[in-house]
Amino acid sequence: MATRGNSVSKFFVWALLALLVVGLAGFGATGLSGNIQKVGKVGNQEITVNEYARALQNELDASQQQFGQRLSFQQAQAFGLDQRVLARLIMEKALDHEAEMIELSVGDAEVRKRLLDIGAFQGIDGSFDRETYRFALQNVGLKEAEFEEQLRTEAARTLLQASVLAGIPRNDAYVDTIMNFLLQERSFRVITLNQSTLETPIDAPTETELLSFYEENIGDYTLPESKRITYAQLTPDMMIDQIDVEEAAVQDLYAARSADYNRPEKRIVERLPFLNTTEAQAAADTISSGASSFDTAVTDRGLTLADIDLGDVARSDLGGAADAVFAANLGDVVGPLDTDLGPALFRVSAVLAAETTPFEEVANDLRDELALERARRQIESQGLAIDDLLAAGATLEELVDEAGMRLATLDYYDGVQNDIAGYAAFQSAAAALSEDDFPQVMQLDDGGIFAMRLDEIIAPRAQALTDIRDELETAWRASTTMDALREQAQSIITSNEYETYLDQTKPFENMTRGDFLSDLPPAVLGAAFELDVNGAQNVDGIESVYVVILDAIDAGKTDTSDANAMRMQVENQLGSSLSQDVFDAYATQIRQRVGIELDQAALNAVHANFQ
């Protein structure tokens, strides 16, 4: 239980140090003025305005690290940050009240020990520095006596909590039960049934069967409430054939991207430098004679291959060594050659051939790219004129002749992705569109524009069977196949005809609950741990049904290092959970007994200081 007590102490020490760090960061206790001194009271313990403000500031700073950006106070309130801070302070004050009632406190020696352990008060030599201590407290508006009394209170609070938690007994029976559950092993077989295992193939549905399936699943074939939208659209790809691009412009773009289309030969090279030419030449001679190797020379220099790897380099990267390196074959060692690091040996690890893409191969793509860019600019210049036409009363239908736009109608609902409904901008605009909205020009992601009009709201309606016949037949066949497979599985289980399906059977030995069955749904393993020995159960898959037969149950291995580590983890989690539950119950009982008073006006005043 000593470990649990230490964790309790660390929790409260952190709370106090967090308050101090926030103060050192410059949050002024003078930021709140007037006659308001406290925001609440728990028993005989007051929650002062400054305590609450500092705790809020600390929580805001912590949230910045969590979210990667500073939250506004309104956002913090939306996350319940202010409520968490207040709840924590209420809990601390409840413990302080209880400690005072039972006359629990610590002596000056314990206060001194805690004071000396605070890093913020230590000098550069690591020892307590009186001036640093005085300055830090002055910065947060605290007197030495006041701060030391806070340390005393915190120590008593920690002692009280530790004494409550110290009496929690260890529950070995519970741990044993959890371990038996986690370590239990099961051996089972799985029979895979699919369309190929059916004795009778599934024929095409009759009209009666198809209609019955349609009516039974009418919800799947009912369209939701929709908006019938008429829209006019103009996109760059609609104009590309109307844009003339000069050949010179295409060639200029090709030249500007010459580095992409004409890549020089490169080589992956390793460079081993030496202190002088004599050592380098001696190494080269040893390597060329076969008495040693380049890898050995690297090791002898106290280096690794990663240390000497230059990666892929071009001629321009190697200076005076380029000609020799690029004349070498794959695997050759050349040198010594002069480099900025002195004489060096080079080994060619790979040859990356030059890549050349002729102008003729990419001319059409470049021409289309230029045309699309010009079309975007042309559409951008037309957008204002089209908006003026709409403002003057032009209809969407008139924009076809006036601006060359394309007119179409779409029944839109959430989930439609075809045609223009695939654009996020259209989806957002369509979702917000009402009958009172007038058409206006809006932008698409590809540089196009559109304007829309809501014609009517269409109530939910069933799709015509003739419109979805192929989809319906596919769904009927899948459903009918699964029904047949389930029936086959139940027949196998009832008759115990497992041996008949040996070709479709796969055994699994000594599996635990945490194992993963490749190519099988998780429900298969779950079923194996629900069965009794020799029991069987069928599990649905995708276009398959699985029959799970349990062969054996084993208690599992409890004497392995993994099992011991797992038991320790379970014990720690159980201890932590019980400790938290006991402490929460204890703190709640104190709060209910002593009562809580909160001043909402004071709380609002503190919050206003953070706006």
Q: What is the reported pLDDT for 544? A: 95
Measure the CA–CA gap between 238 and 448, rounded to whole angstroms: 9
30 strand-pairing partners: none
Q: What is the reported pLDDT for 167? A: 64
Q: Which residue has the tokens 């042309």?
A: 378
Checking if the pLDDT of 473 tops 90, the result is yes
CATH architecture of 265-353: Roll (3.10)
Checking if the pLDDT of 534 tops 90, the result is yes
User: Which tens digit of pLDDT belongs to each residue from 250-290?
Assistant: 888 988 888 888 888 888 898 888 888 888 898 888 888 88
Checking if the pLDDT of 231 tops 90, the result is yes
Q: What is the reported pLDDT for 541? A: 93
User: Which tens digit of pLDDT belongs to each residue from 369-409?
Assistant: 898 889 898 888 888 899 889 998 999 999 998 888 999 99
Please, are residues 546 and 538 in contact by the beta-carbon 8 Å criterion?
yes
User: Which tens digit of pLDDT belongs to each residue from 102-161?
Assistant: 888 878 888 888 888 888 788 777 788 888 888 888 876 778 888 888 888 888 888 887
Residues 572-585 have a mean pLDDT of 79
Please, are residues 192 and 506 in contact by the beta-carbon 8 Å criterion?
yes
Checking if the pLDDT of 474 tops 90, the result is yes
Measure the CA–CA gap between 587 and 92, rounded to whole angstroms: 9
User: Which tens digit of pLDDT belongs to each residue from 482-493?
Assistant: 999 999 999 999
Residue 402 buriedness (CB in 10 A; 0-12 / 13-18 / 19+): middle
Checking if the pLDDT of 21 tops 70, the result is no
Domain residue extents for the chain: 2-167+590-608, 185-215+469-554, 225-239+374-459, 265-353
Measure the CA–CA gap between 575 and 578, rounded to whole angstroms: 5
Checking if the pLDDT of 532 tops 90, the result is yes
Domain 2-167+590-608 in CATH 1.10.4030.10: yes
CA dihedral defined by 506, 509, 515, 517, rounded to 10 degrees?
Answer: 0
Q: At what angle do helices 561-594 and 81-101 cross, to 10 degrees?
A: 80
DSSP secondary structure, 465-519, as one string:
GGGGHHHHHHHHHHHHHHHHHHHHHHHHHHHT-GGGGGGGEEEEEEE-TT---TT
* Total residue length of the chain: 611
Q: Which two tokens stand for residue 122?
A: 């230590």
* Secondary structure (3-state) at 313: strand
CATH architecture of 225-239+374-459: Roll (3.10)
CA dihedral defined by 458, 459, 460, 463, rounded to 10 degrees?
Answer: -50
Measure the CA–CA gap between 309 and 307, rounded to whole angstroms: 6
**Strands annotated E in 169-263:** 185-193, 222-223, 226-234, 262-263
Q: What is the reported pLDDT for 432? A: 92
Q: At what angle do helices 2-24 and 49-67 cross, to 10 degrees?
A: 100
What percent of the chain has pLDDT above 90?
27
Q: What is the reported pLDDT for 11? A: 42
2-167+590-608 and 265-353, same CATH topology: no
The mean predicted confidence, pLDDT, of the chain is 84
Q: How many CB atoms lie within 10 A of CB 73?
A: 16
C-alpha distance from residue 350 to each of 311, 313, 330, 353, 399 (Å) = 10, 11, 6, 10, 61
